[in-house]
């Protein structure tokens, strides 16, 4: 069957691009093998933000209350996800869009088969189009160490469906995913340990901001091991050697002085070996989250047979998101450029602009914006950034100035009891904004003022000359601009 455009994957990049393409007059086939909304909606952005919200609520004093709270948080998360999936399903009914369920693979450069081969035919048919967009997202990475797939080692997907709060949670990886779950489950009542390979958490963020965030999370009770390499994960079927289990005897009976013993079976636990500063150490946990990043989802696509080039990061694309094969594009996590849902959406608009040769349309003028994409971490406090870091500017030999302002000097922050944080704006010597880094309440919202300023070529002087409402957290940006 023929159509104008095939989009493989119904995540944010895929479904938003499909709607825009249909409104532009194209006949679009969207192929999705699992869930509408992709990783972002089902196992990423939206679910974690639901849990972040619930984690900010007051903590119960009883273990039963903690488990109930987690179950209630998961239930609410599921409601939000289902509501949004229903909305996307309605979008897929937009005139001009055909939604096809099943796994896609290339037959040739213009043909995609869907489903599996049954009696010599593809179960969900074959589709042909002059243009194809690959938007298959990413999958969880695992460290190549013994025990990486042991029982009790989970990914973010499993974490989002827990109904029992782990007493001790170890997280391998101190990036965005690892820190968000560390913040959530520490707030829920878990004892959390983070093991990060790099010298500092959030290695892609400004080092000053990352260090301050780690310090803030450490004050809340999260234990960090940075510059530490995980070596092995072992599952222990008996807890007699566990530091947390020393109050039990070899038969699993609770021993307390002056209190009659209460039989309690010993639960299995996990032991993680890691090397920190040349010394082998270990930590025990009831659950281990593997949070060492995500890899492009290329399985089953049959890219090699149609000559599509890939790199270790993903599918290789040009500035129009086009692969080396004319008419085939790759957007979002699958191209490895930047793994953010809003980046996938923006890349989809750029690809569609190239497809319909309408780059002068106001809808499709995003080429210059692809280098100005904000990112955020929804810990407590939040962190957000856009543009370059001090480390990147120093490495490139670019002269810059740093303009800072602290949350603790802002009236609204004090009123909110959110004085922990700072704003740092980096500029060249003439005031052109090179980057902005925010740690503190509503950082994910505040970052967009600077993102827009960078997009429009405004300077830090323009921010300083703009009246900001009082009292508001946005005045911290004003204070930084005036510094």
* Catalytic residue IDs: 470
Tell me how far apart the alpha carbons of residues 223 and 135 are, in angstroms, rounded to a whole number: 37
> Which tokens is 132 given?
């194809």
Sort strands 287-290 and 168-172 into parallel, antiparallel or unpaired. Answer: parallel
Q: If you count DSSP H runs as helices and E runs as strands, how many of each does the chain have, helices first?
A: 13, 29
Distance of CA 52 to the CA centre of its chain: 13
Sort strands 28-32 and 97-101 into parallel, antiparallel or unpaired. Answer: parallel
Residue 151: Cβ-neighbour burial (10 angstroms; 0-12, 13-18, 19+): exposed
Nearest to 24 by CA among 403, 362, 314: 362
> Which tokens is 468 given?
């900001």
Q: With the C-alpha atoms ordered 396, 179, 10, 88, is the resulting torsion angle positive or negative? A: negative
Tell me how far apart the alpha carbons of residues 481 and 483 are, in angstroms, rounded to a whole number: 6
First to last CA, the chain: 62
Nearest to 298 by CA among 276, 322, 316: 316
Tell me how far apart the alpha carbons of residues 292 and 313 are, in angstroms, rounded to a whole number: 14
Written in H, E and C, the secondary structure of 352-397 is: HHHHHCCCCCHHHCCHHHHHCCCEEECCCCCEEEEECCHHHHHHHC
Nearest to 53 by CA among 87, 71, 76, 37: 76
Contact 210, 226 (CB under 8 A): no
Contact 184, 51 (CB under 8 A): yes
Which residue in this structure is represented by tokens 């807890």? 239
Tell me how far apart the alpha carbons of residues 375 and 384 are, in angstroms, rounded to a whole number: 6
Tell me how far apart the alpha carbons of residues 437 and 31 are, in angstroms, rounded to a whole number: 38
Which residue in this structure is represented by tokens 């703009």? 466
H or E element in which residue 113 lies: strand 111-114
């Amino acid at each position: 069957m023929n159509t104008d455009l095939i989009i493989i994957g119904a995540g944010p990049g895929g479904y938003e691009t499909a709607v825009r393409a249909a409104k532009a007059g194209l006949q679009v086939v969207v192929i999705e093998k699992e869930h509408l909304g992709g990783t972002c909606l089902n196992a990423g952005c939206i679910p974690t933000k639901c849990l972040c919200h619930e984690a900010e609520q007051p903590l119960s004093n009883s273990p039963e209350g903690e488990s109930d709270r987690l179950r209630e948080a998961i239930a609410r998360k599921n409601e939000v996800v289902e509501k949004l999936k229903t909305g996307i399903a309605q979008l897929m009914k937009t005139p001009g869009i055909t939604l096809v369920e099943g796994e896609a693979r290339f037959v040739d450069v213009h043909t995609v088969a869907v489903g599996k081969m049954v009696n010599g035919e593809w179960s969900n048919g074959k589709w042909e189009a002059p243009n194809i967009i690959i938007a298959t997202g990413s999958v969880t990475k695992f460290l190549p160490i013994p025990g990486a797939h042991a029982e009790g080692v989970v990914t973010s997907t499993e974490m989002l469906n827990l109904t029992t709060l782990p007493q001790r949670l170890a997280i391998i990886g101190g990036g965005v995913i690892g820190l968000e779950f560390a913040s959530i489950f520490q707030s829920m009542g878990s004892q959390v340990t983070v093991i990060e390979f790099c010298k500092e958490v959030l290695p892609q963020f400004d080092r000053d901001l990352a260090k301050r965030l780690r310090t803030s999370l450490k004050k809340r009770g999260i234990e960090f091991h940075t510059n530490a390499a995980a070596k092995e994960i072992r599952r222990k079927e008996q807890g007699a050697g566990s530091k947390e289990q020393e109050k039990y005897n070899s038969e699993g009976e609770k021993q307390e002085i002056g209190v009659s013993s209460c039989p309690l079976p010993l639960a299995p636990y996990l032991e993680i070996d890691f090397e920190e500063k040349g010394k082998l150490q270990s930590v025990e946990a009831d659950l281990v989250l593997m949070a060492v990043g995500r890899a492009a989802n290329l399985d089953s696509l049959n890219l090699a047979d149609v000559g599509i080039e890939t790199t270790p990061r993903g599918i290789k694309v040009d500035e129009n998101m086009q692969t080396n094969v004319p008419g085939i594009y790759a957007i979002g996590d699958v191209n490895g450029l930047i793994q953010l849902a809003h980046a996938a959406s923006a890349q989809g608009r750029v690809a569609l602009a190239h497809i319909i040769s309408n780059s002068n349309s106001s809808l499709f003028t995003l080429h210059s914006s692809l280098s100005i994409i904000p990112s955020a971490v929804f810990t407590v406090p939040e962190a957000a950034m856009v543009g370059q870091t001090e480390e990147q500017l120093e490495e490139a030999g670019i002269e810059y100035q740093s303009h800072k302002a602290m949350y603790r000097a802002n009236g609204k922050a004090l009123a909110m009891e959110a004085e922990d944080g700072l704003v740092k704006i980096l500029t060249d010597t003439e005031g052109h904004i090179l980057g902005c880094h925010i740690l503190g309440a509503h950082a994910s919202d505040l970052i967009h003022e600077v993102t827009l300023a960078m997009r429009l070529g405004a300077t830090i002087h323009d921010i300083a000359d703009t009246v900001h409402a009082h009292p508001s957290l946005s005045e911290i940006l004003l204070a930084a601009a005036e510094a």
